[in-house]
Amino acid sequence: MDWGMKNRLSQIIKPETGHTVMLAVDHGYFLGPTHKLENARKTIEPLLPWADALMLTRGILRTSVDPDVSIPIVLRVSGGTSIIGENLSQESITTSIEEAIRLNVSAVALSIFVGTEFEHQTLTNLAYLVDEAQSVGIPVLAVTAVGKELEKRDVRFLALSCRIAAELGASFVKTYYCEEFEKIAESCPVPLVIAGGPKLETELDALKMANDAIQKGAIGVDMGRNIWQSPHPVPMIKAVRAVVHDGVKPEDALEIFEKDKK
């Protein structure tokens, strides 16, 4: 791996711990004005000091994040579908590598939809993006998307998707946590970060998921709704950081949350 690639990855995955807390705010690219993300700037700004990286689209980056803020950007560069459309998996590359360079990003992100009608299209999208990004030293984050079929989030499917993403050259992979997650980590030769997914019932549920994922081989989280849909987003991201970077147990991290929200 070239110096530039290593340097950009080290901005996201902190060398001190080998872990990362990415803040996902790219949901609007197919969901539109998601609850608690209607005003993206208002949601993002209080959380910036506690996030290791932001995952978002170029539109939200330009309109909702000040350019003088020093935070690594993971730029979503795939899309072209919406939640009311016929098929979420029919994604294309929507942002050029030249645009990523203009925006000084630390990585680019693209979804793959293994096992769908558009599997071939999204996998060749990934291969093309890897070629383009590697030529200028930008890491690629592959996202193992499942569209509307959330029941696909099992170990066999996710292990298959993660391994294919790594085989095609992704620098790291975002996937879901599931039972036997360690099998996914063991069979994927690049780092894994887990998606937070839909808002869980309690903060403790989200903290336990983050903890279990780290214990079973993930290097971090890319969490969105379980942070900014919490009634207390800043205490929540601080608690997540305690789990991911400091190895704090979920129950103790919940105490951090409860204390900080007062």
Q: Provide the annotated active-site residues.
A: 174
Burial tier of 88 (Cβ tally within 10 Å: 0-12, 13-18, 19+): buried
Query: Would you state the structure tokens that stand for residue 203, as one six-digit string?
Result: 């903060």
Q: State the Cα–Cα distance between residues 197 and 177, nearest whole angstrom.
A: 9
Q: In Å, what is the CA distance from 151 to each residue of 79, 148, 155, 157, 178?
A: 22, 9, 11, 10, 11
Q: State the Cα–Cα distance between residues 239 and 227, nearest whole angstrom.
A: 10
